[in-house]
Structure 1
């Protein structure tokens, strides 16, 4: 029986290593996403509250109020939703993104050595991933918004909330009030935001990585002389910069989406996208419109905390993605494992 153990160990190790190699993108995406999501979720929660707040409030004051009224749990309310879905969303997103790029490269539609081609392939792959994933992620994000804004939604209904409902209760309440289609409130905005945002994000990331010395094989080469930063921080640098810049461009769309969804969840009168956007910019009183620059400041409320969240989550995402990818690349091939086991 003891003689079978080395063979059994060999079989398990080889099978696991081969499985990791074949599913490299999925494994890297899932692992990195859990770390980045947990680290950035409190900032995402504050961002949603700032977007829907009727009166301007500083981030430290809002954070203090959340802590006083809801405790640490208030910052992580709804965390299980993205943690539960992140494995599916990230795995599917990176599969579609990489699959689209591989399709373009294999048919010589784009050139791996050309900056415009590399960036365009990343943007197209991102657009495909964002559009397809949005059909599955929209209900989960709506429930996440509901969980993050339980107290403000209850306040708009004139209800004093002593204890917020659980995630399952929130889902039941949405379906009971608006039916299954209620889970897709604001879907068109969600689709537009995810398609355009993910396209911009991957276009910028792949373009920057190419400029900073990533080789066609995917490995990081020497950085250029005009930006001599350590190779180890290139993923964090590119991930943070592409996350912040792409998010800033689509931020007004996300504000409108959150506002539309919040009104729907609160049972208030439905407003169109353009009406919602106009009211956010010019205010609710047409006879006394808000100054234009004040309206722009209103539409970008929460961008600072959102930028910090993007730096944290996307920087960590690509850093851990590359770390896990490097670990998988260094796994010994099956024959090397066999030799080591036999020598032992």
Structure 2
């Protein structure tokens, strides 16, 4: 009778550990992104609605309205799109970002351990990442916006929704109406937003981590005396601050993009980005413009919930990214290494 082998003999743990180490950035990005995306998606859905409605409304009232009309599913409408695409977007984004920083290090460029050069390499990596990823992410984000704004788009067409279309039906409708180019409605604004936003994000994050005591090796050192917090909270703090501040800077561009896409999806006559921005700031009547402060309040509507979403998603993203990275770093090395 042959000797029974333990179950763990069926797979090569050493090969698995080696694969995890070789693809650490991808593994960390994907696992952390799923958690952070699911946690922050309801806030993202509310943000999109706040950006497009004409009548000011507070967040609790809007949330209650969504719940009454659409139920819990209304907060997660279109969720599977970012959950599926996040594996590609985050993996590619962090790979480009890390490879760019490695290229600078290998060529001895911007390698001094000061805040400017640390932030600059992160910003350049972020800009390359955001610009390249935008070509693949733009169609998926357009469909996500379409799903989130099903009811408002239908209302602008004078249609009452009995049963909202599925995601595949939404894609089919966009393709049938405008062809393959319809999936890239608002792409220029999407490209500018992602390139500048991702550059700012990684620029700030790397600079903040440097200030908070991250060592050149990438490990977290002692935190500075002026911010005596536990080292485990540093990724959450830096990720939240970088996410909120970079998003606040590009938020007007995101509002214009969403409005341009909403009009196109509703079949309304197109407006340029500048005309859309001016109308948001000064109102639709050029002979009776509204005060600048009211216009700014209009274009920044939803920033509060968006900031809360950024704190949640980016804080959790970097927290779980670092936890996963620490786990992989602690895996036993192969005997032959």
Taking only aligned residues, the RMSD between alpha carbons, in angstroms, comes to 1.4
Quick one: structure 1 residues 247 and 174, their matched pair in 2 at CA, closer, same or farther if it must change by over 3 Å?
same
Secondary structure at the residue paired with 2:161? coil
The answer to whether the Cα contact below 8 Å between 1:29 and 1:94 also exists between their aligned partners in 2 is yes
Q: Provide the residue aligned with 2:267 in structure 1.
A: 267
Q: Provide the residue aligned with 2:40 in structure 1.
A: 40
Give the drift of 1:8.
3.3
Q: Provide the residue aligned with 1:125 in structure 2.
A: 125
Alignment of 1:1-344 (within 5 A): 1-2=2-3, 5=6, 8=9, 12-335=12-335
Quick one: structure 1 residues 227 and 7, their matched pair in 2 at CA, closer, same or farther if it must change by over 3 Å?
closer
Secondary structure at the residue paired with 1:2? coil
Secondary structure at the residue paired with 2:56? coil
CA distance in 2, matches of 1:312, 1:231: 18
Quick one: structure 1 residues 112 and 25, their matched pair in 2 at CA, closer, same or farther if it must change by over 3 Å?
farther
CA distance in 1, matches of 2:103, 2:276: 40
Give the drift of 1:112.
4.7
CA distance in 2, matches of 1:6, 1:87: 30
The answer to whether the Cα contact below 8 Å between 1:113 and 1:216 also exists between their aligned partners in 2 is yes
Normalised by the length of structure 1, the TM-score is 0.96
Give the drift of 1:227.
0.9
Secondary structure at the residue paired with 2:335? helix
5+ residue gaps, structure 2, are: none
CA distance in 1, matches of 2:249, 2:113: 28
The answer to whether the Cα contact below 8 Å between 1:105 and 1:112 also exists between their aligned partners in 2 is no
Give the drift of 1:4.
5.9
CA distance in 1, matches of 2:292, 2:140: 34
Secondary structure at the residue paired with 2:250? helix
Greater shift after overlay, 271-280 or 284-293? 284-293
CA distance in 2, matches of 1:196, 1:36: 22
* Cα-to-partner distance string for 1:211-258 (whole Å, 9 max, x where unaligned): 100011111000011111110000000000000000000000000000
Quick one: structure 1 residues 285 and 224, their matched pair in 2 at CA, closer, same or farther if it must change by over 3 Å?
same
Q: Provide the residue aligned with 1:340 in structure 2.
A: none
5+ residue gaps, structure 1, are: 338-344
Give the drift of 1:287.
1.9
Quick one: structure 1 residues 163 and 278, their matched pair in 2 at CA, closer, same or farther if it must change by over 3 Å?
same
Give the ranges of 4+ consecutive aligned residues of structure 1 lying more than 6 Å apart after TM superposition.
Answer: none
CA distance in 1, matches of 2:144, 2:52: 14
CA distance in 1, matches of 2:29, 2:121: 19
Give the drift of 1:286.
1.4
Give the drift of 1:6.
8.4
Give the drift of 1:336.
9.3
Give the drift of 1:3.
7.0
The answer to whether the Cα contact below 8 Å between 1:112 and 1:216 also exists between their aligned partners in 2 is no
CA distance in 1, matches of 2:332, 2:118: 30
